[in-house]
Amino acid sequence: MRRRDRPRPQAFLTPAGLFYCVPQRLPARPRSLRGLGALFEYGKQLVDRKRREPGDDVITRLCATEGVSDDEAAMLSMALLFAGHETAVVQIGLAVAHLLARPDQWQALVDDPDLMPAAVEELLRVPGQGGGGIPRYARTDLDIAGVTVHAGDLVLLDIGAANHDPAAYPDPDALDIARGTTRHLAFGHGSRYCIGAPLARIELQTTLELLTARFPTLRLAVPPAG
Ligand code: HEM
């Protein structure tokens, strides 16, 4: 995306994100819906521009795809922007905060950059502690650990809780960059598995590599909460 086409993302991406983060917090709902509306409007403007000035980019290709209307192209490209931007920004911030809350772990990474790939996986696992849920509807009757789920039932898949399952991770809330985490569910599972996972891993790894190399003595200004 060219510089002039870039949004000031936080102006509407963060409010839009509230829709997913805090649906139960009703006061945030109108702000969230305004954010989603602004995001869609921005998408429509981009589609309009790409129709007039096609380029070598995703939106131009979506516009050129038979059967994809302008509204669909705007919705799809903004879904991609939203899914790819907000998630990575939040995850990078959380990863750095978690690392700095454990100076021994930060120092280990500064001393041994080879730990980086394993650290990235652990930093994807640890921050979300559960309490949310990705909605799915059961297509058939199921029995899960003695609980019967009927076809059509709404099921909330709590990735954070799964990532902190003590049966899978001893001392699950502790950050341990040498743990060798491999099977976390931070990017989901199955047919809806995050299409941007490889990019998100590169973004996290690059940011942490640059940060640890450039600011090895970085410290939190205040003690971590809790
Ligand atoms: C650390 C960053 C990220 C996290 C934690 C994350 C997490 C997730 C999760 C949990 C899902 C599954 C949702 C479900 O099962 O309904 C998902 C899906 C998706 N993600 Fe990511 N994601 C990240 C980065 C990205 C990036 C960088 C992109 C694109 C550039 C992206 C694009 C998508 C898309 C398009 C889907 C929907 C896939 C589908 O339904 O087939 N994500 N992501």
Which one is predicted more confidently, 169 or 130? 169
Query: In this structure, which residue's CA is closest to atom 12 in ligand 1?
Result: 188
pLDDT in tens, 151-195: 999 999 999 999 999 999 999 999 999 998 888 999 999 999 999
pLDDT at 60 over 90: yes
| Nearest-atom index, ligand 1, CA of 85 | 27
Arithmetic mean of pLDDT over the chain: 89
User: Given this model, what pLDDT does residue 50 score?
Assistant: 94
**Lowest-confidence region among 81-85, 125-129, 192-196:** 81-85
Q: Are 121 and 182 in contact, with CB atoms under 8 Å apart?
A: yes
pLDDT at 22 over 80: no
Mutate to test the pocket of ligand 1, among 87, 120, 134, 191 (most ligand atoms within 8 A of CB): 87
Segment 17-34 mean pLDDT: 66
- Give distance in angstroms: CA of 85 to centre of ligand 1: 10
Query: In this structure, which residue's CA is closest to atom 6 in ligand 1?
Result: 187
What confidence tier does 24 reach under pLDDT thresholds 50, 70, 90?
low
Rounded to two decimals, the pTM is 0.84
Domain ranges of the chain: 1-101, 102-226
* Alpha carbon 36 to chain centroid, angstroms: 17
pLDDT at 62 over 80: yes
User: Given this model, what pLDDT does residue 19 score?
Assistant: 56
Measuring CA to CA, how many Å separate 84 from each of 5, 13, 79, 173, 199? 17, 11, 8, 26, 9
pLDDT at 146 over 90: yes
- Give distance in angstroms: CA of 194 to centre of ligand 1: 4
User: Given this model, what pLDDT does residue 226 score?
Assistant: 66
pLDDT at 107 over 80: yes
Query: In this structure, which residue's CA is closest to atom 39 in ligand 1?
Result: 192
DSSP conformation letters of 34-79: HHHHHHHHHHHHHHHHHHHS--SSHHHHHHTSTT--HHHHHHHHHH
Spelled out in words, what is the top-level CATH class assigned to the domain 102-226?
mainly alpha
pLDDT at 34 over 90: no
**What is the CB neighbour count within 10 angstroms for residue 95?**
22
Query: In this structure, which residue's CA is closest to atom 7 in ligand 1?
Result: 187
Burial grade of 168 (CB within 10 A; 0-12, 13-18, 19 or more): middle
